[in-house]
Structure 1
Amino acid sequence: MTVHSASSPGGRATKILAATRLAATRTRVAAVAAALAVTGAAAAVAVATSSPATAKPGDVVVSENFSSGSLPAGWNAVDGTWKVENGRLYGTSASASANNKITFGRHLDDFRFEATMRFESVQAATRWASLGIDVPADGATPWWIATMRSGSTASNGLEFAQRTTGNAWVVTNTASAPYAAGTGRDVRVAVEVHGNQARWIFDGREMMRTSSLQRSANGVQALFVNGGTVSYDDVVVTELPPNGFLRPEGSPLTVIAHRGASAAAPENTLVAQEIARKGGADWIENDVQPSKDGIPFVLHDGTVDRTTDGTGNIRDLTAAQIKALDAGSWFAPQYAGERVPTLAEQLADLRTRGGNLLLEIKGRHTKDEVAKIVQVIRDQQMTGRVFVQSFEVDALRYTYELAPELPLGLLRSSLDADPVAIARELHLTAYNPDGNALLAKPEIVAPLHAAGVAVMAWTMDSASLWQRLERIGVDGVITNRPSELVGWNSAFLQRPSAEPTVAITSPADEARLDRAQSPVVAVAATNAETVTVTVDGVKTEVGRALDLRTLAAGEHTIRAEVTGPEGTATATSTFTVTPSQAGLGYVILTSGAKQSAVTAMTALLSQGQYAALATYATVQAGKQVPADVAGVIVADARALAQK
């Protein structure tokens, strides 16, 4: 996290994803609505809006295209110039120090906020516009924004940032967009928010994520402009389901640091937590067990022998004895003096410095021991940022009884016969199996997702395994190498799309052709294993010339469908067969009619006697002129006679 000065911040081709398990999983995830995780406070803000009084997941809370010609009801132009013209909302900021804003909407914990943004003019490429994620209705600080600069390809072209009560900027995350927003260019942007976590989406592609939002109890949505004029259109705010652990289509794996950055620092210590946080981990995974005097400590083993300079069962040692132990020297000399943290210390560090905790209740616990863990979480005001998991079913049952607001995950070394059933029984938010067991039976992922249950695999430490897990639709990975997985995710986001594409290149869409032409059906496809082409529903082959002599005059449709490992894509194209003298002549000469008939029809055609030609072909149909060809000649001749 960096602190900046107060002046700084921040055809007709149709694609259908399906056909494979991955694509089906992605479609389902998108339907459930997704993003990364957790909750915030939930109070409605007292501002007038045109949206419904209440909302539930999937409801569109705000939808505005500015067609009325004036500011929508309930939109509060806090500062700067805001006006509606030509079906767009225009905001102007006269200087780089003016963070002008307009607020609207209502407080939501889980939502998607999207808009079309266009820089009309800017004082410099560093100037910006933003989607306000959590902003007081009166525009007062503090507030959180997702920012896009005009020069969006800069290293900080995109940002998550907070304006503090002291009017300073805290920029928590930055990224570079794939192309410059510039001026005069529409860019579709979106932010998906789940409590203190959010994803920044640029033209349909996730650019970065944060877990550092500090949510208020009543902040609403807003639009911002700084140092220029920006126009907005098609502003939509949609409430999302609270389980933001489900991975959205196109998003990378959630990174869960196993015992902190345990490959780089002594496990389950605050330094391992700090390294994992700096490395970009979305979650810290740690274990909790009680001391002899009932204080929850962060430790994996049942004894302190392996990871400290002491010996003995943790449950036989007092808190004072545990705190006196060196928990770092065993790993490396530079970590000498690291201590075993209490759960309270770990949560306080996460609360103040950022991050979320996937907390494993290690081993058998009584209900009173679980109650102590829950109390510490509540005392530290971290119920919205802690996810509880355990191998122990009783520990999960106790947690649900004591704190139903905490999300739950069941750890498994081997898979249950019916993971969905046990997920329902235990009120699970996630099913967290051994990654190798999951890869042996990947078909369990789709039904869990259909039930709204995320899947997090443990403990997987190689790129080849991450790739396999991503392909079967896993949502998160618990790993000893969180920074490497963060880097792998970055490469994943930059990968060229493996989804198939298809376009019909010949005949050209909306082409007008006469019967003398013989266009070849041509298709351009990528990432495709099979290609199927039809003309008016009848299958044909790529590379085959169309015989326009037999087609009825009028519009015809070509449809191409391709399939590949990442799904299916389709494209359609139309062409029109138009009667012409040259085309009709070609039909007559190649009709197979008797020569005397060809001579007679050619003479009538050259003289422009189309009605007489139609009569002649009608009389000779099935006699001197093949019946099917005669029908085409009659229809075209009559059409020409009417011109």
Structure 2
Amino acid sequence: MVAVGAALAVTGGLVAAVQPTTPAAAQPGDVVVDEDFSAGTLPAGWRAVDGEWTVRDGRLRGTATSGTRKITFGRHLTSFRFEATVRFESVAEPTRWTALGLDVPADGSTPWWIATMRSGTTAANGLEFAQLTTGNAWNVTNTAAAGYAAGTGRDVRVAIEVHGNRARWFLDGRQLLTTSSLARSADGGQALVVNGGTVSFDDVRVTELPDSGYLRPEGAPMTVVAHRGASSAAPENTLVAQEVARRAGADFVENDVQPSSDGVPFVLHDTTVNRTTSGTGPIRGLTAAQLKTLDAGSWFAPHFAGATLPTLAEQLADLRTRGGNLLLEIKGAHTRDQVARIVEVIRAERMTGRVFVQSFEVDALRYTRELAPELPTGLLRGTLDADPVATARELGLTAYNPSGAALATRPGIVADLHAAGIAVMVWTINSPAQWKQLDELGVDGVITDRPAELAGWNAAGQQADEGNEPGVTVSIAAPADGAKLNRAQQPVLTVPATGADTVTVTLDGRPVPVGEPLDLRTLAVGPHTLRAEATGPTGTVSTESTVTVTATQAGLGHLILTSRAEEQALTVLLNHLVKGRYDELSRYADRQAGKLVPAAVARVIAGDARILADR
């Protein structure tokens, strides 16, 4: 285990800090946190901000009977993989959740970002990326459903891979959700969070990663890159095409940049404005003011009339405020000063962590690397170099981006480039048959005019892979494990199950029907065991929970009113109850058992009254 931060002593919910030591800076590949809780105590540097956090049986257990409770640890990292084995021990209802905190201050103060999992993971929002804002409001940026429920009593492996503002959500080794909307702090670390239940954790690991994150991790689909925005659905290289691409689930928007005659970088593919605007002439022969008067939408469809050519600054501002990343092609020959202007705009818009520069022009890539070494670069190729790996190394590339036709001549270069740590993004591919071929080759990203279709194709493949998971799950959602119930309550027995042909539930070994209220009137005061068993094609699973029946005045009143006692007995019993004469009530119930009060219920009334009398 690598201990990080201040050691803590936790007793009775109080936290006492021990003087921390300053850790050495992490390097890519370093395991920053590695904890299996075998020591039996909270690790040094783990801060139980709120809630009940204990180590028991080699697992960390967090309980939140109400609200959200968290424990913080780790250190601030730009790029990292955060993974843990997670088990819902009990939940108040399937909508309750746990989360891995991705950027959380050590004291738990807002704002903070989390990757959330509900016990009912098959819900549309079973998985989420979300932020708790300084106004204590939730900003949920991305949601997804898993193909099976985490349920209760079952270990699932959760992993989140973070690269700056981007993150990938993995459940049992399969990527199910991505985001490009994380707003990172300067010092937030990691956390575990529980809401509305008890959750246990094991094998918590945080690993520093290289900053790029463009190689496709195992279990992840291909990155979706929207060519000129969603150019099959909206006018290319406009903000509306960018918005459609964002809503379609694209990981990156790919656009082209060229300078106006007065040196302002504009987003346009062609060398002239003729094809895609209401104007004519070369873009480099028109001023920024002239370019902004042009209609860049009507050519595509009438209802896009009025769309304008965006400047690079406008495009980046939109991505920064509304979410998204940019694969920016420097189009055509550029001087060093022209590339410097592009870099200046990227930095002014605070987007260096979210822009990837590519070009057919080797000089443009050399200038970019010289002027902004923090920006990743990719070389576009219509035909392959004799040695793509050598070319990529010589230019210091992050990615080598060939056309689909070029890659088809030597598909083995994907493995060669990956072995050298270089990503491969292929252009411009619009058919599912080709997506399948590229996926099988291990290509990292696909540039496509149809981002919505590729995102859907990816999701369908992920769901098919999930079908290989153990299919039978069962949990007892209500009444919640550990619930204390009085006889006036009638909790509806709720048992979510997946992949099951049959589900049976017993209460203290006797069968009880699912979906109907539990009758607590004849149960003894004290704990009772619910057991659910589900059987399906892949086997049988079971889970248990414990509820406790308590004696209360409200519960005793309900018992008396529903006892079917004779009217005169009801009057006496209720009179004793209202005046708190529990001894007299118990004696009267005993005397009238089998006479004015049915025998079985009279015994329960007398027993509860004696318990209340002794308090």
Normalising by structure 1, we get a TM-score of 0.69
Paired position in structure 2 for 1:122: 91
Question: Is the CA contact (8 Å cut-off) linking 1:119 and 1:182 kept in structure 2?
Answer: yes
Are 1:493 and 2:494 an aligned pair? no
SS in 2 for 1:478: strand
Cα offset for 1:278? 0.2
* Pair 1:446–1:498, CA change in 2 (3 A): farther
* In the alignment, structure 1 residue 85 sits paired with structure 2 residue 56: yes
Question: Hey, what does 1:474 align to over in structure 2?
Answer: 443
Q: Which residue of 1 aligns with 2:284?
A: 315
Whether 2:65 is the aligned partner of 1:94: answer yes
Residue 404 of structure 2 is aligned to residue 445 of structure 1: no
Residues 340 and 371, structure 2, Cα contact 8 Å, conserved in 1: yes
1:2-40 Cα distance to aligned partner (Å, 9 max, x none): xxxxxxxxxxxxxxxxxxxxxxxxxxxxxxxxxxxxxxx
Letter in 2 for 1:229: T
Given the alignment, which residue of 111, 118, 125 partners 2:80? 111
Q: 1:226-625 counterparts in 2 under 5 A?
A: 226-496=195-465
1:318 and 1:497 map into 2 onto residues whose CA distance is: 53
CA deviation profile, 1:535-564 (whole Å, cap 9, x unmatched): xxxxxxxxxxxxxxxxxxxxxxxxxxxxxx
Q: Is the 8 A contact 1:122 1:229 kept in 2?
A: yes
Q: For residues 437 and 87 of structure 2, what CA distance do their matches in structure 1 show?
A: 39
What is the letter of the counterpart of residue 299 of structure 1? L
Deviation at 1:495, TM superposition (A): 2.3
Contact preservation (8 Å) 1:288, 1:361: yes
Q: Secondary structure at the match of 2:384?
A: coil
Q: Aligned to 1:495, what secondary structure does the other structure show?
A: helix
**Pairing partner for 1:198 from 141, 164, 167:** 167
Contact 1:51 1:61 in 2 (8 A): no
Unaligned stretches of 5+ residues in structure 2: 8-19, 469-615
**C-alpha distance 50-131 of structure 1, shift in aligned 2 (>3 A):** farther
- Is this contact kept in 2: 1:175–1:207, CA < 8 A? yes
Q: Deviations over 1:485-525 (max 9, x none)?
A: 001101111224899xxxxxxxxxxxxxxxxxxxxxxxxxx
Amino acid at match of 1:406: L
Q: Deviations over 1:89-130 (max 9, x none)?
A: 1111121xx211100001111111111111111111111000
Q: Measure the CA separation in 2 of the matches of 1:498 and 1:468.
A: 21
Distance in 1 between the 2:324 and 2:256 partners? 16
**Pairing 1:3-14 to 2, within 5 Å after superposition:** none
**Inter-partner Cα distance in structure 2 for 1:178 and 1:328:** 40
Q: Distance in 2 between matches of 1:154 and 1:398?
A: 48
Query: 1:54: how far off?
Result: 2.6
Deviation at 1:52, TM superposition (A): 5.6
Q: Distance in 1 between matches of 2:155 and 2:435?
A: 35
Contact 1:130 1:146 in 2 (8 A): yes
Q: Structure 1 CA distance, aligned partners of 2:373 and 2:461?
A: 35
Hey, what does 1:641 align to over in structure 2? none
Q: Is the 8 A contact 1:91 1:225 kept in 2?
A: yes
User: How far, CA to CA, are the matches of 1:253 and 1:67 in structure 2?
Assistant: 38
Q: List, as ranges, runs of 4+ consecutive aligned residues in structure 1 with deviation greater than 6 Å.
A: 48-51
Query: What amino acid does structure 2 have at the position aligned with 1:82?
Result: W
Distance 2:465 2:155 in 1: 22
**2:55 touches 2:61 (CA, 8 Å); kept in 1?**
yes
Distance 1:498 1:458 in 2: 31
1:62 matched to 2:3? The reply is: no
Q: Deviations over 1:316-336 (max 9, x none)?
A: 100000000000000000000
Which structure 1 residue ranges, 5 or more long, are not aligned?
Answer: 1-44, 500-643
Instruction: Give the 3-state SS of the residue equivalent to 1:309 in structure 2.
Output: coil
CA–CA separation in structure 2 for the residues paired with 1:147 and 1:473: 28
Matches within 5 A, 1:27-38: none
Larger Rg: 1
Identify if the C-alpha distance between structure 1 residues 237 and 155 changes in structure 2 by more than 3 Å, giving closer, same or farther: same
- From 176, 179, 189, the counterpart of 1:210: 179
Q: Which residue of 1 aligns with 2:574?
A: none
What is the aligned length?
Answer: 453
